[in-house]
Amino acid sequence: MMYMVAFMYPVSADSKFDYEHFTKTHLPMGLGLTKKHLGITPLKIIVFQPIVTGDGELAPYSAISNVMFATEQEAKKFCTLFTFEEAARRLSEGF
């Protein structure tokens, strides 16, 4: 069994989601900060960009990332990452 923490980035009318920045800059930085502050590493990260919903409407999210952990304890620990000032500041820049 794996435990997942999901991040959903809503579509915004006034800005475009930069998928390349997200995957090449934001995610590696988040992984480094997770290791530095929490001492854990996810098993897997899945990122996808929904286009439409099941009824053909535009999807409400620009991207969804699923961060997978081996234990519930690690997943819950990961949810505390933003309590570290450096992580909160750096991961919020540009979003």
pLDDT averaged over every residue in the chain:
92
For residue 4, the model assigns a pLDDT of 98
Region 38-48 average pLDDT:
97
Exposure string of 17-40, with b = 16+ CB inside 10 Å and e = fewer, is eeeeebeeebeeebeebbeebbeb
The residues, any chain, with a CB within 8 Å of residue 37's CB and separated by 6 or more, are 81, 84, 86, 87
| pLDDT at 15 exceeding the cut of 80 | no
| pLDDT at 94 exceeding the cut of 70 | no
For residue 78, the model assigns a pLDDT of 98
